Amino acid sequence: MGRGSFGSIFSGTRLTNGVPVAIKCVPRDRIHRWGELPNGARAPLEIVLLDKVSTGFCGMIQLLEWFELPSCFLLVLEHPERCQDLFHFIMARGFLPEEEARGLFRQVLEAVQHCSSCGVLHRDIKPGNILIDLATGQVKLIDFGCGTFVQDTVYTQFAGTPSYSPPEWTHLKCYHSKAAAIWSLGILLYQMVCGKHLFRRGQDIIWSQLKFPQRLSQECQDVISWCLSMHSLDRPSLEDLFYDPWLQDVHLP
């Protein structure tokens, strides 16, 4: 189904109930970060983080089980029968109408809020890591290979996609979890409604000016501009976004 820097994804069927699943194979030599499960077992950090967020919340990909093999770890994940990642969902349409983007974006906010409540920071929020169940319209956040635990102090190591990194990382080589997540959400929303990535390289973050198509409402433009404030303290919190007028009265699946 796909291949990334941390492993390969295969489609499969769970023998116990015939349900389709995704199987992520992560070679042991690519695992550099480990953690501890509630039962005290040592496991790759991705498994530990997925175990924390896989609590039945519908906006999160569920870790069904995992296996340790001599050369790799296998993660068995839920996989809706009819689904598409948000990147290809946008590409197929050119861009998303504002009303559709608003409903999907709010679901992503719910997923990020759930991660935060579990003490988990995803660190790689982008269209390719958001799955849409085409039958229900339900969004699911996937791929915690870059994730870590939430901390109040600054992070001095970056993990994720460089073109989604906040300007404070480009300038100062450090960032706070909440402000960095909001920055990536701003880029995500821009991609949804404009159909293209705002920043291609880290240096573009310093010089680019926000440009919007005329069809976008001022309220939508304001949300994106707020999330992409150059100074981290000027960005909204998740709670601010939930109460923003543009995100009110959203119909969720």
One domain, residues 46 and 109? no
Query: CB under 8 Å to 225, separation ≥6 — which residues?
Result: 186, 210
Asked if 103 contacts 252 with a C-beta cutoff of 8 angstroms, the reply is yes
One domain, residues 39 and 131? no
The pLDDT value recorded for residue 201 is 58
In the DSSP assignment, the letter for residue 132 is E
One domain, residues 143 and 41? no
Is 204 annotated as catalytic? no
From first to last of its 253 residues, the chain has per-residue pLDDT tens of 777 656 789 999 988 888 999 999 999 988 989 999 999 999 999 999 999 999 889 999 999 999 999 999 999 999 988 999 999 999 999 999 999 999 999 999 999 999 999 999 999 999 999 999 999 999 999 999 999 999 999 999 999 998 899 999 988 999 999 999 999 999 999 999 999 988 765 556 555 678 899 999 999 999 999 999 999 999 999 999 999 999 986 655 4
One domain, residues 55 and 136? no
One domain, residues 198 and 224? yes
One domain, residues 124 and 201? yes
H helices of 151-194, in order, are 167-172, 177-194
One domain, residues 70 and 178? no
* Amino acid in the structure at residue 232: S
Q: Is 139 contained in some domain?
A: yes
> The domain that contains 177 carries what CATH number?
1.10.510.10
Query: Rounded CA gap, 253 and 246, in Å?
Result: 18
One domain, residues 106 and 169? yes
Residue 176, domain extent: 83-247
Structural domains counted in the chain: 2
Q: Is 156 contained in some domain?
A: yes
Question: Rounded to whole angstroms, what are the CA distances from 45 to 38, 69, 143, 174, 243?
Answer: 13, 16, 12, 21, 33
Q: Is 22 contained in some domain?
A: yes
Query: CB under 8 Å to 174, separation ≥6 — which residues?
Result: 154, 155, 156, 168
Q: Is 159 contained in some domain?
A: yes
One domain, residues 143 and 195? yes
Q: Is 253 contained in some domain?
A: no
Asked if 166 contacts 174 with a C-beta cutoff of 8 angstroms, the reply is no
The pLDDT value recorded for residue 16 is 87
Last residue in a domain, options 17, 46, 78: 78
Q: Which of 124, 143, 240, 244 is catalytic?
A: 124
Q: Is 252 contained in some domain?
A: no
Query: End-to-end CA distance of the chain, in Å?
Result: 26
> The domain that contains 15 carries what CATH number?
3.30.200.20
One domain, residues 105 and 73? no
Last residue in a domain, options 43, 78, 113: 78
152 is in an annotated binding site: no
24 is in an annotated binding site: yes
Last residue in a domain, options 33, 60, 78: 78
85 is in an annotated binding site: yes
One domain, residues 90 and 178? yes
One domain, residues 110 and 225? yes
Q: Is 175 contained in some domain?
A: yes
